[in-house]
Amino acid sequence: MSQKFEAVFFDLDGTLLNTIGTYRHIMNELLTERGFPNHELDSYCRFIGNGAQNFIRLSLPEPERSPQQINEILSDFHRIYKQTYSEHSQLYTGVTPLLKNLQKGGIKMAVLSNKAHDLTQKCVAHYLADIHFETVIGQSEKHKKPDPSGVFALVKQFELPIEKIVFVGDTEVDLITAANAGMSSVAVTWGYRSKSILENHNPNFIVQHPNELYALFNTPVVQQA
């Protein structure tokens, strides 16, 4: 890892925050209410990554994937998530020391997620209250990965060459987003995709623990996990 970056855009779910327990809890409750089969964590890990609407579509039995039903469940999903976002989720081991060290080292940071914008902001404020992010962007009509518009908005705000910024994520959507924006990417293996799936999308770097990310930045390691 010879490249030294000055800023980083982080995905949220599966990269900084393990939210799959919350997703499973809410979705299984909604499926049960409608008489549909539930899923285990492994299945939900495959479904997550491309927004809540797609997550719900994949969670439903194929004959039940009408736009009307998906939108009805999506409304219920967001309502329940707003009430339970602080339950069944936790930061990945090593994430807090990593972010604090980057912050102390003057590395600019932002979050770019495909979770709904308001829920992304709530989760960051709750789980990462001690960390300063320049901007936190969730999914909206304006920004949805792998469209690179969110990346370009952040690059403009940071006033840095895109070559000095790296995108860190855990799914193929994150890696495609980085590629669409013409920026370097890091795939993390502790999230919702296997290493083999991530390798298929040609990330610039693959890491297995947050500590491995320090080598990408010109910042001293003050605190380790």
In the chain, % of residues over pLDDT 90:
92
What type of residue sits at position 132? H
Residue 219, pLDDT above cutoff 80: no
Residue 52, pLDDT above cutoff 60: yes
CA atoms of 120 and 136, how far apart (whole Å):
7
CA atoms of 65 and 54, how far apart (whole Å):
10
Residue 35, pLDDT above cutoff 90: yes
For the stretch 187-203, pLDDT in tens is 999 999 999 999 999 99
CA atoms of 18 and 216, how far apart (whole Å):
23
DSSP states of 31-64: HHHTTPPP--HHHHHHH-SS-HHHHHHHHS-GGG
Band of pLDDT at residue 51, cut at 50, 70 and 90: confident
CA atoms of 176 and 87, how far apart (whole Å):
30
Angle of helix 67-84 versus helix 117-127 axis, rounded to 10: 20
In the chain, % of residues over pLDDT 70:
96
Band of pLDDT at residue 2, cut at 50, 70 and 90: low
CB-count exposure of residue 181 (10 Å: 0-12, 13-18, 19+): buried
pLDDT of residue 50: 85
pLDDT of residue 114: 95
For the stretch 67-89, pLDDT in tens is 999 999 999 999 999 999 999 99
DSSP states of 121-187: HHHHHHH-TTS--SEEEEE-SS--TTSTHHHHHHHHHHTS-GGGEEEEESSHHHHHHHHHHT-EEEE
Residue 222, pLDDT above cutoff 60: no
Compute the average pLDDT of residues 159-173: 96
Structure token digits, residue 136: 């936190």
Residue 151, pLDDT above cutoff 60: yes
Kindly report the backbone phi and psi dihedral angles of residue 52, in degrees, each rounded to the nearest multiple of 5, phi listed first: -65, -35
Query: How far is CA 133 from each of CA 29, 102, 122, 136, 207, rounded to the nearest angstrom?
Result: 33, 11, 13, 7, 22
Residue 155, pLDDT above cutoff 60: yes
Query: How far is CA 208 from each of CA 27, 165, 170, 205, rounded to the nearest angstrom?
Result: 29, 20, 11, 10
Q: Write down the mean pLDDT value for the chain.
A: 94
Residue 6, pLDDT above cutoff 60: yes
CA atoms of 61 and 96, how far apart (whole Å):
38
Residue 225, pLDDT above cutoff 50: no
For the stretch 80-131, pLDDT in tens is 999 999 999 999 999 999 999 999 999 999 999 999 999 999 999 999 999 9
